[in-house]
Structure 1
């Protein structure tokens, strides 16, 4: 795999390359405007896979040949086309497209959907995809829950900056009770831990997909601002913990 700088990809606009349905002649034709994950947080293996996919997409959009894409990245044209149309251009829960976030290894664009009723066994197994099923049935609940997870705390209420996951979990259970889930003994009320692990994992996924909001929730309003602030000398800071400040006496 070659680096992006060695492939002549200075122009990341789709206008001069291939015409792609849903991309060309739209605001997202400029790939530099695509939402991007925190690439510095990847493991080395995931970073290699991600950058290889990213290079392939840029090569495809710029109009490079099938031979060039296969040689540089090992992908066929049809595979890269599916990466773009079936992953990158899919709508993200935050209202944007997935963009480069869709190329991160193990990111699920279309959540698992159950075909059978959720009936966990005595050991608690058999509830895979239950949370996504519930959220799919109640889109307004999904929206309200994600808004709650990503909500920024007022800077003057320092004690409320770190919101415990248990509080979100209890709120979610209360909303399901209003919908009659507990009365009907539906998931998560038919499990030992009332879906705590699945719900907490979902919270983590929402925060991981929205690093700026996550920084505000976990570190307050100032932390969110520092993600986009510059130090006045070097390039703007774009990642959490990229800049370190030190007071010397």
Structure 2
């Protein structure tokens, strides 16, 4: 039988959450609000001694990430209190973290975390870029663009940097590719997260089946030789389709390959 005594996990009691600094999720950008709510739900389940496996299944937050979030929530905030739920907002800068330190933006040689630092200092760049890369929405367009190519996303990224007065020698203008490799990786990751989120809205079990690992950005595992391949067409503006056997067994379905 479950004990009525409040359980202690990660250094806090379940009832302690009532005293934590809170966040108004309604003021957050759409995708950031969704991530925040999932994290908050995971923390509340954790404080209620819900089994870790159940938390992972319901929220999509893996065990190591959950422990990291708990630790962040309990860190001291400059205002004298703990961070509490404020630490769960994506891209929130922790005083003890150097990865999102804006000083990185001015270094002669960029290091890992420069793009995160840029997004932390200029959230408008990140939000506008996410809207376009994931939803195909731009202020200058009346209709949404389906799956914009990397070239257009990167161009918008540089234009947004210009609007926010981000200039050399700050990142991304201190790199040979002007941040393009980091943008490519970020877009791939965000599209995968968005895919899993939409998948889990209708079928939480489908997320578990689609998720390979926290580091894998591919939704479909390769189960046989050449089950998953990559076509490198960066030297030309390539357009291609693949033929997929119809699930009904009648012929094939032609699918356009999305450029990344």
TM range (shorter): 0.3 to 0.5
Name the structure where strand makes up a greater proportion of residues.
2
Relative contact order: is structure 1 or structure 2 higher (C-alpha 8 Å, sep ≥ 6)? 1
Q: Structure 2-normalised TM-score? A: 0.44
